[in-house]
Amino acid sequence: MSGGTAPSPSIAFDQVLAFTVADRNARGRIVRLGPVLDDVIAAHSYPAPIRHLLAEALVLAALLGSLLKDEQGQLTMQAQTQDGVVDLLVCDYRAGQVRGYARFDRARLDELGPSPSLQALFGAGYLAITFDLATSDQRYQGIVPLEGETLAAACESYFVQSEQIPTLIRVAIRSDAAGCVAGGLLIQHLPEGEEGRERLHVQLDHPEWEHMRIMGGAVSSGELVDPALPLDDLVWRLFHEEQEVRVQPGAQISKGCRCTSQYYQSVLSRFGPAEREEMKNGDGLILVDCAFCSRVFEIELD
């Protein structure tokens, strides 16, 4: 291996590691989230099934968001349904910052038992994945059904259907009294050095991709969530037979709710005086509730 070193103990959690296997025309990302999960999830008193769902979504947001070359670009994942127990799940990533929120029917959730399936939670739902590129002001979005057993499976379908990139994603979650740990691995095949949306075709049965899919698929859930196993050691364990594997530490991941009083003042100032007046409470304030961080902002405008 070359191009990187093992994360130090102080950054064993909450950092993306990028890697490439040049001879196989493959790239990958691996991440293990710890404290940042507790920071995001603690904003609401989520029951265990929702904590598990949100943890998976945050890992996926970190993996997919870290693919952005635009450092100020944003990745947004939104799972939604009209008839499911969870009617909205949204996570986003920007410059290493993640945030997430889930809205659900508590009474219906309690009827499902301790480990409900994705189908039981969402019913006939869909997953929308959006890449917003700040430097070029472009937006790319793909929408796929929430099929399969996991959100990770739906994300794989997105890349095959919308981006035409063969993709393997594995996510594991461990939650106990000490907190939540979640890890994820993403591997993609970019044949013949082709990049992004310039690709004209894709071969899901390409022998290079089949090899990478088998090697990456050998990762275990225990390895993904084991804090004693450095991420680059795990990459080496999976791909040590390759001629060369390059690793590069990526973004440090942190909780990043971007709500501020100044931001909401800017948004509300776009409304007319009469509209703003209707929004005010008895004290002359406009109350804005941020679902991501569970804070209420008191906005005072003339």
Taking only the tens place, the pLDDT of each residue in 32-86 is: 999 999 999 988 889 999 999 999 999 999 999 999 988 889 999 999 998 899 9
Question: Above pLDDT 70, what percent of the chain?
Answer: 89
Cβ-contact 184, 59 below 8 angstroms: yes
β-pairing verdict for 126-133 and 138-145: antiparallel
pLDDT at position 299 is 74
Give per-residue burial for 146-163: e unless 16+ CB within 10 Å, then b: beeebbbbbbbbbbeeeb
Residues 6+ apart with CB under 8 A from 70: 133, 134, 135, 136
243-290 tens-digit pLDDT: 999 999 999 999 987 776 777 777 777 888 888 888 888 777 777 766
Residue of 31 and 269 predicted with greater confidence: 31
SS3 155: helix
pLDDT at 7 over 50: no
Comma-separated ranges of CATH 3.55.30.10 domains in the chain = 12-255
208-246 tens-digit pLDDT: 889 999 999 999 999 999 999 999 999 999 999 999 999
pLDDT at position 283 is 77
Torsion of CA 149, 151, 152, 154, to 10 degrees: 80
Q: What is the pTM of this model?
A: 0.85
pLDDT at position 154 is 94
Strand partners, 295: 290
Spatial separation of the C-alpha atoms in residues 58 and 234, rounded to whole Å: 21
Question: Above pLDDT 90, what percent of the chain?
Answer: 58
pLDDT at position 137 is 83
83-142 tens-digit pLDDT: 899 999 999 999 999 999 999 999 999 999 889 999 999 998 999 999 998 888 888 899
pLDDT at position 191 is 64
Looking at 2.60.40.650, 1.10.3720.10, 3.55.30.10, 3.40.190.80, the CATH number of the domain 12-255 comes to: 3.55.30.10
